[in-house]
Amino acid sequence: MNNKSLMLIFLFSFFIGCCSQSMIISDSSVTIVEADCWLNLMPGGNPSFHYSGTFSIDKKFIDDYKFLYVKVFYKDEMIHQSQPLLQFYDELITDTTSLVRFHFYSDQGIKVTDKMMKAESVDLLLVFQIKDNTVEKLVKEIPLTRAY
């Protein structure tokens, strides 16, 4: 082998070794079905921020997953992070897969910030752990609805 081949093998091995510690994978084990965000600005209470949605997960991972947290971004800046609440929705069985669907939603009373008031839309980053892997799902440009 020549020196270039040995160097490439060494660099590839080094890269794999460095990346294996905090691997983030994007795969089809989790699918975001829908996501919504809104500000509750109704008179008579404190303004609050809310998110909700539905995701499906392959049934073979149902015992090995955790929904770690949701991050909310406005113009690439994180403006909120929390652990969502979950509720079982249904199970969908087809010829090729078996999926379990869940509703997720924010806790009540998330304080509205100035940046939330300015935002017309936000991005949600949903972070799951499946076995020892982190799976991130990004939902971009969700309209931030206001309820008056």
Q: For the chain, give every domain's residue range.
A: 24-147
> If residue 5 lies in a helix (H) or strand (E), which one and from where to where?
helix 3-19
Q: Could you give the CA distance from residue 139 to residue 145 in angstroms, rounded to a whole number?
A: 16
Q: Is 10 helix (H, G, I), strand (E, B) or coil?
A: helix
Nearest in space to 139 (alpha carbons), one of 94, 84, 88, 97: 84
Q: Could you give the CA distance from residue 82 to residue 88 in angstroms, rounded to a whole number?
A: 19
Residue 14, pLDDT above cutoff 80: no
Residue 16, pLDDT above cutoff 50: no
pLDDT tens, position by position, 25-74: 446 799 999 999 999 999 999 999 999 999 999 999 999 999 999 999 99
Side-chain half-sphere of 133: how many Cα atoms within 13 Å?
10
102 against 95, higher pLDDT: 102
| Predicted local distance difference test score (pLDDT) of residue 49 | 98
Q: What's the pTM?
A: 0.79
Locate 104 and state its tokens: 């997720």
Residue 95, pLDDT above cutoff 80: yes
Average pLDDT of 4-18? Answer: 39
Q: Say which residues have a Cβ less than 8 Å from residue 26's Cβ, sequence separation at least 6.
A: 135, 136, 137
| Predicted local distance difference test score (pLDDT) of residue 35 | 98
> If residue 116 lies in a helix (H) or strand (E), which one and from where to where?
helix 114-118
Residue 130, pLDDT above cutoff 60: yes
Average pLDDT of 110-137? Answer: 97
CATH topology for 24-147?
Immunoglobulin-like (2.60.40)
